[in-house]
Amino acid sequence: MPTPLRAGQVMMWNGSLWLNAEPGELFTTYTVAELPSAADYSGTVVCVSNGDYGNPCLARSDGSNWHVLGSRWGVVATTVPTVTIASGAITVTTDEARVDTEGAAATDDLDTVTGVPGGKTLILRPADNARTVVLKDGSGNLNIKGDFALDHTEDKVSLRSSSNGATLTELSRSDNNTTVETLTIASGVATAVGTGPGSVELYLIDTEAAAASDDLDTLDGIPARTIVVLRAANSSRTVVVKDGTGNLKLSADFSLDNVEDTITLVSNGTNLYELCRSDNGA
């Protein structure tokens, strides 16, 4: 009976005994930079000292690439790679990736993700706090719970591919940006991006072109079952939240004219209904 494996050990049969050993004792060890051509070693297993995002791992050649063996899928990599959107799409080769906008644009939509094997999980994070990647629900092969904006490097979304790898379905999302987003009115409309259904969201609301006063008729981008708290962005500018002019159903118009003022709404996916208001401004 072999002794129990320690963390990181492998078990091998030598023809008469099972042996426990460190991967580097049984396999040739390389760094990622030193790996030979995968085309020359199809089927070969080696130890890669930094192949699991800087950690040691076993890797096997499929004739084209060296793939990590174990709990994660994908090619060997010393760090989580960054992939750049091209015409709304990316192709990944690892189970984690950071996503950047095309041409370093301030914002970009991600409609389609390819390269994920069937039944596998993928984690996406943004590459840069200064650029926003918006994952789009239903525009390509992403089946997610409403559009989601990756606008902070600590944000992430987890996706799982279908059995044939054709579609990816959201498992979870994490909006770790602690900065409260400001929505600016444009022709009576403010639009939120990345709000998840069933969540509670806080937004600051500001007038168009920093006008002294502005009407808010419609609030777009809020999925059903989402609760939204709106707060005035600036005490020197007044946002008048309008009842019934657009998709806001209130007890009456309400002026947000102090940064302590709030109004709370709940969405049914089309309209937003007032739950409460708080006129806290002096």
Given 21, 46, 69, the domain boundary residue is 69
CATH number at residue 140: 2.60.120
187 and 106 in a common domain: no
Given 149, 174, 199, the domain boundary residue is 174
Given 117, 152, 174, the domain boundary residue is 174
Contact 55, 48 (CB under 8 A): no
What domain range is 246 assigned to?
181-278
Is 237 domain-assigned? yes
Is 77 domain-assigned? no
96 and 37 in a common domain: no
Grouping H, G, I as helix, E, B as strand and the rest as coil, residue 23 is helix
> Which pLDDT tens digit goes with each residue over 109-166?
999 999 999 999 999 999 999 999 999 999 999 999 888 889 889 899 999 999 999 9
Is 5 domain-assigned? no
> Which pLDDT tens digit goes with each residue over 52-82?
889 888 888 899 999 998 767 899 999 999 9
Instruction: State how many domains the chain has.
Output: 3
d(C-alpha 8, C-alpha 69), whole Å: 12
This prediction's pTM: 0.63
Question: Which spans in the chain are helix H?
Answer: 23-26
Is 123 domain-assigned? yes
Is 115 domain-assigned? yes
SS3 content of the chain, % helix, strand, coil (to 5): 5, 45, 50
Contact 252, 261 (CB under 8 A): no
Contact 87, 109 (CB under 8 A): no
- Structural tokens at position 134: 């918006």
